[in-house]
Amino acid sequence: MLTQPIRMFEDLTSETAPAGGNEKAKSVVTFADRQLIELRARYARAELMSNALGDAALWLARQYRRLVAGIRSDFKLRAAESQLLRMTDRELADLGLARGDIPFAVREAAEGVAPQFDVTGGMLAANQNLHRAA
Protein backbone atom coordinates (compact mmCIF):
# COMPACT_ATOMS: atom_id res chain seq x y z
CA MET A 1 0.00 0.00 0.00
CA LEU A 2 1.38 3.32 -1.03
CA THR A 3 0.51 6.07 1.41
CA GLN A 4 2.88 8.71 0.10
CA PRO A 5 2.51 10.21 -3.36
CA ILE A 6 5.08 9.37 -6.00
CA ARG A 7 7.73 12.11 -6.13
CA MET A 8 9.12 13.39 -9.40
CA PHE A 9 12.75 14.42 -9.21
CA GLU A 10 13.12 16.85 -12.09
CA ASP A 11 16.54 18.12 -11.14
CA LEU A 12 18.37 14.78 -11.47
CA THR A 13 21.16 14.59 -13.99
CA SER A 14 22.54 11.70 -15.97
CA GLU A 15 25.63 11.24 -18.07
CA THR A 16 23.75 11.68 -21.32
CA ALA A 17 21.36 14.47 -20.46
CA PRO A 18 22.19 17.94 -19.28
CA ALA A 19 21.08 19.13 -15.87
CA GLY A 20 17.32 19.15 -15.74
CA GLY A 21 17.04 16.29 -18.22
CA ASN A 22 15.65 16.18 -21.70
CA GLU A 23 12.38 18.09 -21.81
CA LYS A 24 10.98 15.96 -24.67
CA ALA A 25 11.72 12.65 -22.94
CA LYS A 26 9.90 13.53 -19.75
CA SER A 27 6.49 11.97 -19.28
CA VAL A 28 3.98 13.79 -17.21
CA VAL A 29 1.91 11.54 -14.95
CA THR A 30 -1.13 13.22 -13.56
CA PHE A 31 -2.59 12.58 -10.16
CA ALA A 32 -5.56 10.74 -11.72
CA ASP A 33 -3.20 8.50 -13.71
CA ARG A 34 -1.27 7.74 -10.54
CA GLN A 35 -4.48 6.83 -8.72
CA LEU A 36 -5.50 4.55 -11.59
CA ILE A 37 -2.11 2.80 -11.55
CA GLU A 38 -2.34 2.31 -7.77
CA LEU A 39 -5.88 0.97 -8.08
CA ARG A 40 -4.84 -1.52 -10.77
CA ALA A 41 -1.88 -2.62 -8.63
CA ARG A 42 -4.18 -3.16 -5.65
CA TYR A 43 -6.60 -5.21 -7.75
CA ALA A 44 -3.73 -7.30 -9.15
CA ARG A 45 -2.35 -7.86 -5.64
CA ALA A 46 -5.80 -8.82 -4.32
CA GLU A 47 -6.33 -11.23 -7.22
CA LEU A 48 -2.95 -12.84 -6.62
CA MET A 49 -3.66 -13.30 -2.91
CA SER A 50 -7.16 -14.68 -3.51
CA ASN A 51 -5.82 -17.18 -6.05
CA ALA A 52 -3.08 -18.26 -3.66
CA LEU A 53 -5.53 -18.67 -0.77
CA GLY A 54 -7.95 -20.61 -2.98
CA ASP A 55 -5.21 -22.94 -4.16
CA ALA A 56 -4.04 -23.47 -0.58
CA ALA A 57 -7.59 -24.31 0.54
CA LEU A 58 -7.99 -26.82 -2.29
CA TRP A 59 -4.64 -28.44 -1.44
CA LEU A 60 -5.61 -28.73 2.22
CA ALA A 61 -8.96 -30.27 1.27
CA ARG A 62 -7.22 -32.87 -0.93
CA GLN A 63 -4.79 -33.74 1.86
CA TYR A 64 -7.66 -34.10 4.32
CA ARG A 65 -9.57 -36.40 1.94
CA ARG A 66 -6.45 -38.54 1.44
CA LEU A 67 -5.94 -38.79 5.20
CA VAL A 68 -9.56 -39.78 5.83
CA ALA A 69 -9.49 -42.33 2.99
CA GLY A 70 -6.29 -43.86 4.38
CA ILE A 71 -7.73 -44.15 7.87
CA ARG A 72 -10.94 -45.71 6.53
CA SER A 73 -9.06 -48.27 4.46
CA ASP A 74 -6.86 -49.11 7.44
CA PHE A 75 -9.95 -49.69 9.60
CA LYS A 76 -11.41 -51.96 6.91
CA LEU A 77 -8.19 -53.98 6.70
CA ARG A 78 -8.03 -54.36 10.48
CA ALA A 79 -11.68 -55.45 10.58
CA ALA A 80 -11.03 -58.09 7.92
CA GLU A 81 -7.95 -59.33 9.77
CA SER A 82 -9.79 -59.56 13.07
CA GLN A 83 -12.66 -61.42 11.40
CA LEU A 84 -10.25 -63.97 9.96
CA LEU A 85 -8.36 -64.28 13.23
CA ARG A 86 -11.61 -65.13 15.04
CA MET A 87 -12.11 -68.15 12.75
CA THR A 88 -11.06 -71.63 13.81
CA ASP A 89 -8.15 -73.42 12.20
CA ARG A 90 -10.59 -75.71 10.40
CA GLU A 91 -12.48 -72.77 8.89
CA LEU A 92 -9.20 -71.18 7.81
CA ALA A 93 -8.08 -74.47 6.25
CA ASP A 94 -11.35 -74.56 4.27
CA LEU A 95 -10.41 -71.14 2.89
CA GLY A 96 -6.87 -72.33 2.17
CA LEU A 97 -5.24 -70.09 4.76
CA ALA A 98 -2.99 -70.59 7.73
CA ARG A 99 -2.95 -68.16 10.66
CA GLY A 100 0.39 -66.74 9.60
CA ASP A 101 -0.95 -65.99 6.13
CA ILE A 102 -3.83 -63.79 7.30
CA PRO A 103 -2.04 -60.38 7.14
CA PHE A 104 -0.61 -61.20 3.71
CA ALA A 105 -3.95 -62.49 2.41
CA VAL A 106 -5.82 -59.40 3.60
CA ARG A 107 -3.26 -56.98 2.12
CA GLU A 108 -3.15 -58.96 -1.12
CA ALA A 109 -6.93 -58.84 -1.43
CA ALA A 110 -7.03 -55.11 -0.65
CA GLU A 111 -4.13 -54.02 -2.83
CA GLY A 112 -4.42 -56.67 -5.51
CA VAL A 113 -0.70 -57.36 -5.34
CA ALA A 114 0.76 -60.59 -4.06
CA PRO A 115 4.06 -60.39 -2.19
CA GLN A 116 6.97 -61.38 -4.40
CA PHE A 117 9.36 -64.05 -3.18
CA ASP A 118 12.40 -65.08 -5.19
CA VAL A 119 12.44 -68.87 -5.15
CA THR A 120 14.21 -69.31 -8.47
CA GLY A 121 17.55 -67.99 -7.23
CA GLY A 122 20.42 -70.19 -6.17
CA MET A 123 19.20 -71.85 -3.01
CA LEU A 124 21.77 -73.48 -0.78
CA ALA A 125 21.36 -76.05 1.90
CA ALA A 126 21.05 -74.66 5.38
CA ASN A 127 23.97 -76.66 6.84
CA GLN A 128 26.36 -76.02 3.94
CA ASN A 129 27.96 -79.46 4.35
CA LEU A 130 28.21 -80.10 0.64
CA HIS A 131 31.40 -82.20 0.75
CA ARG A 132 30.78 -85.50 2.47
CA ALA A 133 33.57 -87.72 3.49
CA ALA A 134 33.49 -90.85 1.35
pLDDT tens-digit map of 3-20:
666 666 555 555 555 555
pLDDT tens-digit map of 65-88:
999 999 999 999 999 999 999 999
Instruction: Report pLDDT for 61.
Output: 97
DSSP the chain: ---SPPPP-TT---SSS-TT--TTT-----HHHHHHHHHHHHHHHHHHHHHHHHHHHHHHHHHHHHHHHHHHHHHHHHHHHHHHHTS-HHHHHHHT--GGGHHHHHHHHHHS-PPP---SS----SS-------
Instruction: Report pLDDT for 78.
Output: 92
Report, as an integer, the average pLDDT of 23-38: 81
Instruction: Report pLDDT for 64.
Output: 97
- Residue 22 above 60 pLDDT? no
